[in-house]
A and B are shown apart, each in its own frame.
Chain A
Amino acid sequence: MMANMTEIANVVLQEGALTDPTAAAALAVGLAAFGAGYAERGIGAAAVGAMAEDEDLFVNGLILTVLPETLVILALVVVFLV
């Protein structure tokens, strides 16, 4: 899936279709969100597994699961730059 995303980005950039900075920024944020989602997939699965064994781990699991969200927040900076 990740490989496909970079391919799409490559195609879009090479064809020169992406001349509008706002559209480029939107794409950047979207890709960052994809990355965050992919990272959370694994962490979430592990966190739920750990919680199933020991319910006290709920808070830790939740925090670790949403950590990759910082990727999207940092990517949002781009929106304000264009």
Chain B
Amino acid sequence: MSTSGTSNPEYVNARVRARRAALFSDDEYQKLVRMSPAEIARRMEETEYEAEINALGTRHSGVDLIEYALNRNLAKHFDDLLDFSEGQLYDLIARYLRKFDAWNAKTIIRGLYVGADRDSIETDLIRAGEFSDRMISRLLDAGTIEDVVTILNGTIFGEGLTEAYADYEETDLLVPLENAIDRGFYGHLLDDLPNSEPVQLYREFLVAEIDFRNARNALRLARSGADIDPAAYYIDGGKLFNPSELNTLVQNQEELVSHIRESSYGRELTDVLDELEDADSMISFERGIEKALLAYSKRLGNVHPMSVAPVISYILAKEREVENIRAIARGREAGLSQAEIESELVIL
């Protein structure tokens, strides 16, 4: 509930472990891959997602229903996590969940940019972050992007956004605003973390996530061959690249891959890097780094049960589940084959 007082990892972890056990298993994904979107929705009604499917069933149908139910369920669980936890634990969880605040802020700005109406923006929000319902409805009521920037003043995104707004006015492009939000999030992720062993490992995990994100962006840039300044997409705080390295590596994919191979992540990523070089497929590389991150967080959770680690591992696993089910539903709708859908899934 608050950041004062001592943390209560025993309570939170007991609840998180029970919820983790309710996640979909390997076998269930196998079944889902063979179902149509309507059947998936019906199957979801028999599980965890019953309340959400029932609540949204009258307004949406098909893949939309699945997607909104997934998002709402995700938001419910993550909000619960913030409710349960106290003290330092709350702070550590909130740091990570602010990424949904970033997502919501970006969604609202994008919605206003393309002139979407309030309702359709609202359905796309994931209310899992730290923003209160009141804050979100204020943001939704804002008529212009400038108002949104003003309201966000005072949050962690405020500082960068105000500067970026000037850029936006000049260029009329959303990129500066979105970058400012991302940087606000990542910039505060590693701010004055307390000093203890599990927290240091948590920090390592966050650094790994930033590194992977940088690596993915760099690879995408290298492959697209587009003439974009890589520094604009660089996220601070990682240890894999520094900005100038990134600038030269983006020119050459082979050097980039060997740079990653020589880094401390090399061992975990050997397989996917081999695959990337052989098959030249970005999909398996991206799935590979997500899998590596998931496996790492799970191991961390088992090694340090009385810390924030199991919670983070649950958050990642839940996010993966939501993305997996969404990929299955969207894939089935688009008529992809089973093998193609399975290559999109991340199953540990």
Contacts and interface: CB of A to CB of B under 8 A. Distances in A.
Contacts of B17: 50
Interface in A16-50: 42-43, 45-50
30 contacts: A42-B10, A43-B10, A45-B8, A45-B10, A45-B11, A45-B14, A46-B10, A46-B13, A46-B14, A47-B14, A48-B11, A48-B14, A49-B10, A49-B11, A49-B12, A49-B13, A49-B14, A49-B15, A49-B18, A49-B84, A50-B14, A50-B15, A50-B17, A50-B18, A52-B15, A53-B14, A53-B15, A53-B18, A53-B19, A54-B18
A49 B15 CA distance: 5
A49 B10 CA distance: 8
B32 to A, nearest CB: 24
Q: Mostly helix, strand, loop or mixed at chain A's interface?
A: helix
Pick the 5 closest A-B CB pairs, nearest first.
A49-B14, A53-B18, A45-B10, A46-B10, A45-B11
Contacts of B18: 49-50, 53-54
A42 B13 CA distance: 11
Nearest to A61: B14
Contacts of A45: 8, 10-11, 14
Interface of B: 8, 10-15, 17-19, 84
Nearest to A49: B14
A37 B18 CA distance: 25
A54 B22 CA distance: 11
Interface string A50-70: 101110000000000000000
Nearest to A51: B14
A50 B20 CA distance: 12
Nearest to A47: B14
Contacts of B10: 42-43, 45-46, 49
A14 to B, nearest CB: 31
Contacts of B14: 45-50, 53
Nearest to B84: A49
Nearest to A54: B18
Nearest to B15: A49
Contacts of B84: 49
Given A46-B10, A50-B17, A53-B14, 18 more contacts: A42-B10, A45-B10, A45-B11, A46-B11, A46-B14, A47-B14, A48-B14, A49-B11, A49-B14, A49-B15, A49-B18, A49-B84, A50-B14, A50-B18, A53-B15, A53-B18, A53-B19, A54-B18
Contacts of B15: 49-50, 52-53
Contacts of A43: 10
A81 to B, nearest CB: 35
Nearest to A57: B18
Contacts of A46: 10-11, 13-14
B50 to A, nearest CB: 16
A54 B20 CA distance: 13
A69 B62 CA distance: 55
Contacts of A47: 14
